[in-house]
Structures are given as C-alpha cells and as structure tokens.
Amino acid sequence: MSDDRHRFDPQRKQRLLDPERQAHWDPPAFLSRLGIAPGQTVVDAGCGPGFWTLALAGLAGEQGTVWALDVSQELLDDLAARNPPPQVRLLRADLSRTGLPAGTADLAWLAFVFHEVMPPEGLATELRRIVMPGGRVAVLDWRPDAAGDAGAPRSDRLWPAQVIELLQAAGFARARQTWEDPDSYLVEAG
C-alpha cells in the first residue's frame, strides 16, 4: 500500500533526469559496485522515468531482463518515451504488491524509494518474495542527518539500521550498509 504523503510528486519529474544529477551519480559507475552479471534479472523498484533503469539494462545486457516498476503511469510513460532497450519491461505496480512471480529477480534495486512505501514491512516482505533464493536487494536512500537539502523530507527518511532491520525481519539473513556519503547510504542484503 502506498501513502501519497510519502510518495514522490510526478510533477517534479524533471529533477529526476537533471544533467547535474546524472553527473553526480553516474549510474553506470555507481551500479557497477553491485556486480550485476549479463543475463541476470533485475527489478528497478520505483524506477520513475528511468534514471537508473537504462544503466541497469546495460549491465544486465541483451540476455538479461530489467523490470521497471513504478506506481505512477506518468513516470512509466516518460521512461517509455526514452526508448529503453527491449530487455526493459515496464510494469505499473504498488511496490508492496508487485504482481511479479515469486523468485523473479537476481537483484532488486531501490533508489530513494524505500521510505515512500507504507508500511515498509510490506515492502520488505514483497522484496523477499520476488528475489530468488541467493538473490540480493540493494537500497540507496537519503540519510536523515544528510548534509544537504536534496531529497525527501527528513521526517520521512529511514536510518540504515532501520532498513537493515526490516530486511532481516523479512528473511534476508545478510544485510549491511556497504557505502555512504554525507547525504545518502547503500544497504545490501542477500
């Protein structure tokens, strides 16, 4: 179930594809730390207009699949207008009930969306369901104590320890923070 109060406003979508944001994050370089292999299936949960999607598709390769999920049809339409490669499959879905078959993904990627889905326990449970045994989850999100002002309201943000606890409670045995900068963090679980 989504909570509109926490959800990104699609009217602000131009910020998601801003060249400055692209230069800051450099999605292909950032995602390379996740070890995505050609042929894998990746779920880009909360894909928006595809800021990370196209880089994920490049890493998964032509034999892979990237499921681009978002609750907003408007943002999915924007992604479709960017002409993603054929291995990208768009799906409008509530992230706590994606409709994907169990064990679909080698990796579920969530960039700045974990804090948007209420209750977060439902999201964590759905991630455990859609990630295959031996698969992984990677959560990039805003720090509540961020140095800058970008991102979600500080009151909506989760601490890395909270994300780790939610993923462990859902059945991911190994969950840990693997990266941080002054504004954000990465939690990986398997």
43-81 pLDDT per residue, tens: 999 999 999 999 999 999 999 999 999 999 999 999 999
Q: Is the domain covering 10-189 a CATH 3.40.50.150 domain?
A: yes
pLDDT of residue 1: 41
Residues in the chain: 190
pTM, full prediction? 0.92
131-151 pLDDT per residue, tens: 999 999 999 999 999 999 988
Q: Cα separation of 182 and 64, whole Å?
A: 33
Q: 52, 107 in Cβ contact below 8 A?
A: no
Instruction: Dump the DSSP string for 19-51.
Output: HHHHHHH-HHHHHGGG-PPTT-EEEEET-TTTT
Nearest Cα residue to 81 out of 94, 71, 90: 90
- CA 38 from chain center: how many Å? 19
Parse the chain into domains and list their residue ranges.
10-189
Q: Please give the biggest Cα pair distance in the chain.
A: 41
Residue 110 corresponds to which amino acid? L
C-alpha to C-alpha distances, 144 to 35, 101, 133, nearest whole angstrom: 27, 33, 31
Q: Using 50, 70 and 90 to split pLDDT, how confident is the model at 2?
A: very low
Q: 21, 51 in Cβ contact below 8 A?
A: yes
pLDDT of residue 52: 98
